[in-house]
Structure 1
Amino acid sequence: MPTTKVALFLAHSIALEVEAGDRYEELADVMEVHNNPEVAVLFRQMSDFSRKHAQSVQERAEAFQPLPELKSWEYRWNAPEPPEVGDFTGTHYLMTPFHALQFALANERRGWEYYNNMAADSPDPDVRSLAGAFAEEEAEHVKELEEWLTKVPRPTADWAEDPDPAAVID
């Protein structure tokens, strides 16, 4: 029989991955609206990766049903948002694939940190074991993104140099 702590940890893990997938999808939509299809495709890929990881966590959670159904204010993160959800201020409609990958890498590092801390700090041995496995998966994601970053061109211009600034209406 699952412990409440394991079920609670799994509920958080699923929410973390689902929210990351949703946010990447929103960013992809924004990039499409601003005619930045290359970055939109990249964010859709990141959304797919997050959704696949959420599915993997859900499959592991089958043995621990039912999971608690938490309200948004009941989640406990080490930040205001789930760890893999980046701050939108780190994005811009002129961002390049390099910028998008840096954004995603920062998110994955926060995800690794969350799971790694849970693996180190939880008093529950089952949570520590699961969190350790999830931290290893996140470490792989970090490594993949670091490798991917070496293969995309570094931008020569800053996105603050907007060739088509917004019109100011008096």
Structure 2
Amino acid sequence: MPTKVATFLAHALAMENEAADRYEELADTMEVHNNPDVAELFRQMSEFSRHHAASVAERTVPHEMPALKSWQYRWNSLEPPEVGAVEGTHYRMTPYHALSFALDNERRGRDFYAARAKDGETAEIRRLAAEMAKEEEEHVQELERWITSIPRPDSDWADDPDDAVVAD
């Protein structure tokens, strides 16, 4: 039977994999809308999430991992904390928006782990969660540095003089 630590690690692994998948979906969407700069940023974010998932996967090695169904995950939101809602995106978003989106995701991931580091059910969960919160904080700081080098978009960034029209 999986331990509480294994269940915690299953959540961490799912969160990182889901984040990577969401970034890939967003990259594909941005390519369809001819927004290659943002597509490339989302692909980079996906790779970062995949690397973090690999790091989490290494921690699972000594554990019998549970095969959780989607409804068995316990998040503090509808989706894993590090998975941004597609409603927070726009096909004309700029690199600044993409980095802001990723920064919000990393902050939620950090906060999720920080909460488990404080109130985790076992000392091992608290220790692992503290390590992961620290890693997420490093990601937050890196994105905060990165975003300062990106120009802020004009207020009319979402205006599209050639909106799509669908004829029924």
**Alignment TM-score, normalising by the size of structure 2:** 0.96
Matches for 1:60-139 after TM superposition, within 5 Å: 60-64=59-63, 66-139=64-137
Q: How far, CA to CA, are the matches of 2:155 and 2:166 in structure 1?
A: 24
Is the 8 Å Cα contact of residues 93 and 158 (structure 2) preserved in structure 1? no
Matches for 1:14-29 after TM superposition, within 5 Å: 14-29=13-28
1:18 alignment partner, SS class: helix
Is the 8 Å Cα contact of residues 33 and 91 (structure 2) preserved in structure 1? yes
Name the CA shift for 1:163/1:157 in 2 (closer, same or farther; >3 Å). farther
The size of the alignment, in residue pairs, is 168
Give the drift of 1:122. 1.2
Q: How far, CA to CA, are the matches of 2:75 and 2:123 in structure 1?
A: 20
Is the 8 Å Cα contact of residues 22 and 47 (structure 1) preserved in structure 2? yes
Matches for 1:6-21 after TM superposition, within 5 Å: 6-21=5-20
Identical columns (%): 63
**4+ residue stretches of structure 1 with deviation over 6 A?**
none
| Structure 1 gap ranges (5+) | none
Deviations 1:46-80 (A, max 9, x none): 0000000000000111122x200100000000000
Q: How far, CA to CA, are the matches of 1:159 and 1:117 in structure 2?
A: 36
The aligned amino acid for 1:122 is G
2:62 alignment partner, SS class: helix
Q: How far, CA to CA, are the matches of 1:18 and 1:164 in structure 2?
A: 36
Is the 8 Å Cα contact of residues 92 and 159 (structure 1) preserved in structure 2? no
Q: How far, CA to CA, are the matches of 2:160 and 2:23 in structure 1?
A: 23
Q: How far, CA to CA, are the matches of 1:13 and 1:92 in structure 2?
A: 28
**Alignment TM-score, normalising by the size of structure 1:** 0.95
1:161 alignment partner, SS class: coil
| Structure 2 gap ranges (5+) | none
Give the drift of 1:157. 3.6
